[in-house]
Amino acid sequence: MRGYIIIPKSIPCRSCKYCGSRPIIALSGKDDYVVKCPMNSNHYQTPAGLIDIDDWNAHNIPTHEFEPEDDQMVACYDSKLNYTFFLPA
């Protein structure tokens, strides 16, 4: 036995906001369960008790959205691995 349950894709749940992993359901104690990140136990996990995917979803809203940048720095290097950084025109 693995000690955790993979949440089926048919159940809507957000990915971990820190690493992007899909959460798992793990046994916590004798009769309690937590929804947690499978990659890192320090990432958010629901309080022990009933399986609460709504709580997981509420706490894993991305904190910011990445906006496209107009000016992106480009790095080039030569055969001796000398790097040159510039902004394209």
Q: What pLDDT score does 75 carry?
A: 62
pTM of the model as a whole: 0.65
Distance linking the first and last C-alpha atoms of the chain: 58
Low-confidence ranges of the chain (pLDDT < 50): 1, 66
Alpha helices, DSSP H only, in the chain?
A: 53-59
| Domain residue extents for the chain | 1-62
pLDDT tens per residue, range 13-36: 999 988 888 999 999 888 889 999
Question: Which residues are paired to 14 by β-bridges?
Answer: none
3-class state of residue 74 by DSSP: strand
